[in-house]
Amino acid sequence: MGKIMNLYKYTFKIISDYDKNFASTKLVLLKYPIIKETPYGHWIKYWNKQNKKWVPKTGGNLFAYTTEAWALDNFIQRKRRQIGLIKFNLKRIEEAKKLAEDLIKQL
């Protein structure tokens, strides 16, 4: 296997056209050039040339990954977790709204 030149992370952006009342979602692959490799991780360029970030080679919650496939798998896992949290919060919000509606009927 060759030397790793970049670490990868997937994110998304929403593209909106307000005139047409239209929005779409686009996956974006971020590539972070590796500045230096250590036995335990990588230093990467982060945002601009002055900023750098250390990313460990192993762990459960890495910032960026050594392959695009691994980065995509992590993106899917992150979105699954976020969906679960949003569903939980939506249920609590709906319950609070119902409580408020019931209370306003009593006033």
- Looking at residue 105, what is its pLDDT? 92
Residue 87 lies in a domain: no
Q: What is the DSSP letter of 105?
A: H
Residue 104 lies in a domain: no
Distance CA 94, CA 29 (A): 35
Residue 21, burial from CB neighbour count under 10 angstroms (0-12, 13-18, 19+): exposed
Distance CA 42, CA 57 (A): 7
Specify the number of domains making up the chain: 1
The number of angstroms, rounded, from the C-alpha of 22 to the middle of its chain's C-alpha atoms is 23
Distance CA 73, CA 67 (A): 10
Residue 98 lies in a domain: no
Residue 12 lies in a domain: yes
- Looking at residue 49, what is its pLDDT? 67
- How much is the pTM? 0.81
Per-residue pLDDT of the chain (107 residues; tens, 9 = 90+): 567 899 999 999 999 887 777 889 999 999 999 999 999 999 999 877 678 999 999 987 899 999 999 999 999 999 999 999 999 999 999 999 999 999 999 98
Residue 90 lies in a domain: no
Give the structural domain span for 48.
6-80
- Looking at residue 90, what is its pLDDT? 97
